[in-house]
Amino acid sequence: MKSLYGLLGEKLSHSFSPQIHSFIFDETKIDGSYHLFEVSGNELKEAIKGLKVLGIKGVNVTIPHKIDAMKYLDIISDEAKKIKAINTICFKGNKTIGYNTDYYGFGMMLYKYNIDVKNKRIVILGTGGASRAVVQYLLDKGSKEIIFITRNLKKAQKKLSGYKILTYNDLEHLKEKDILINCTPCGMYPNVEDCPVDKQVVSKFKVAIDLIYNPEKTLLLKYSKELNLKSINGLYMLVAQAIKSEELWNNIDIESDVVNEIYDRVYSLLYGGKSI
Ligand code: NAP
């Protein structure tokens, strides 16, 4: 019988996850099927119990349940504890275990594109959920300086105590840094003419990473390409976090050439043509 997996969230009709997981099943020969489970906040506890009883092997968790779901799990992994959010649940024996595979997906993307963050000076745009997984990875890998950029300093200081936080106005006077990471939805389809910063700000960096994957090249990445920066979008991270979930659910390691094969298939489905 097929093993069952899925995505737990509130509004899922536009999710790309079933397609990504079907490519993973195909390339790894995991005999699985991946389903969408739409539940509201007040159904979450019962939904997790129900999935466990039904013998589901694992689920991904998305908006708005990434924080609340933690309350209903038996074990939280180290990275998820630090990030204070999960996006993956494993049902193992009688236990429910929460992980944050965005953390691993971000790391796999850096590895794929040969970006070393150790001792680097990094600027993160946005202070939401994705930025928390990113900053934890950077801290764990020894980045030298991390600066968050926010639209609302007071709110961000409350959320992120202990971090250096500046506003977009401060960017004008910022000295040269190494890596710029966009963790905002600014520039995402359909608002493809938007960019969180102007080109002069982008020119202060050597590498630009945009977690957005739709469109393929956000305006931010168009600027960074024109400036000859190393420029990376969020698709590899998206695919890699899904692969990490499958590794956790199935206790396996998926070889990097298989990961790249899956990425290529997702790439051509989404953008057409071959990845470079
Ligand atoms: P989120 O929790 O909604 O947070 C985004 C943050 O961006 C907000 O906290 C806000 O920070 C800032 N922001 C929101 N709207 C903005 C706007 N119009 N202009 C400038 N800043 C804005 O979202 P998230 O879950 O962190 O995701 C952020 C982006 O990353 C999304 O585009 C998402 O699709 C992408 N993502 C990609 C992957 C991947 O695998 N590639 C994984 C996770 C997320 P301030 O209020 O402090 O300014």
> Cα angle vertex 160, ends 154, 165, to 5°?
65
Is the preceding peptide bond at 185 cis, omega within 30 degrees of 0? no
Residue 79: in which H helix or E strand, if any?
A: helix 78-83
Structure token digits, residue 231 = 């420029």
What pLDDT is attached to residue 127?
96
High-pLDDT (> 70) share of the chain, %: 100
The pLDDT tens digits for 101-146 are 999 999 999 999 999 999 999 999 999 989 999 999 999 999 999 9
Angle subtended by helix axes 129-140 and 101-112, to nearest 10: 60
Q: Looking at ligand 1, which residue's alpha carbon is closest to its atom 21?
A: 184
- Evaluate whether 240 touches 259 at the Cβ level (below 8 Å): yes
* Ligand 1 center from residue 130 Cα (angstroms): 7
| Active-site annotation, residues | 66
- Evaluate whether 274 touches 264 at the Cβ level (below 8 Å): yes
* Ligand 1 center from residue 129 Cα (angstroms): 7
User: Where in the chain is CATH 3.40.50.10860?
Assistant: 3-99+236-271
pLDDT band per the 50, 70, 90 thresholds, residue 275: confident
Question: Residue 233 CA: which ligand 1 atom is closest?
Answer: 41
User: Where in the chain is CATH 3.40.50.720?
Assistant: 104-233
Average pLDDT across the chain, whole number: 96
* Ligand 1 center from residue 243 Cα (angstroms): 22
Structure token digits, residue 133 = 């997984």
Q: Looking at ligand 1, which residue's alpha carbon is closest to its atom 7?
A: 184
- The CA radius of gyration of the chain, in Å to the nearest whole number, is 19
- Evaluate whether 146 touches 164 at the Cβ level (below 8 Å): yes
Question: Residue 240 CA: which ligand 1 atom is closest?
Answer: 40
* Mean pLDDT (whole number) for 37-66: 96
* Mean pLDDT (whole number) for 218-231: 98
The pLDDT tens digits for 75-99 are 999 999 999 999 999 999 899 999 9
* Mean pLDDT (whole number) for 201-209: 98
Is the preceding peptide bond at 64 cis, omega within 30 degrees of 0? yes
The C-alpha atoms of residue 275 and residue 263 are separated, in whole angstroms, by 8
What pLDDT is attached to residue 147?
98
pLDDT at 1 over 90: no
* Ligand 1 center from residue 75 Cα (angstroms): 27
Superfamily name with CATH number, domain 3-99+236-271: Leucine Dehydrogenase, chain A, domain 1 (3.40.50.10860)
- Predicted TM-score (pTM) of this structure: 0.96
* Mean pLDDT (whole number) for 212-229: 97
What pLDDT is attached to residue 241?
97
| Distance from the Cα of residue 8 to its chain's centroid | 16
- Whose structure tokens read 């996006």? 87
What pLDDT is attached to residue 276?
67
Pocket test for ligand 1, best of 184, 194, 214, 266 (most atoms within 8 A of CB): 184
Does the CA dihedral 158-159-164-165 come out positive or negative?
A: negative
The C-alpha atoms of residue 30 and residue 47 are separated, in whole angstroms, by 25
| Topology (CATH) of 104-233 | Rossmann fold (3.40.50)
Distances (CA, A) of 44 to 10, 54, 66: 10, 15, 11
High-pLDDT (> 90) share of the chain, %: 96
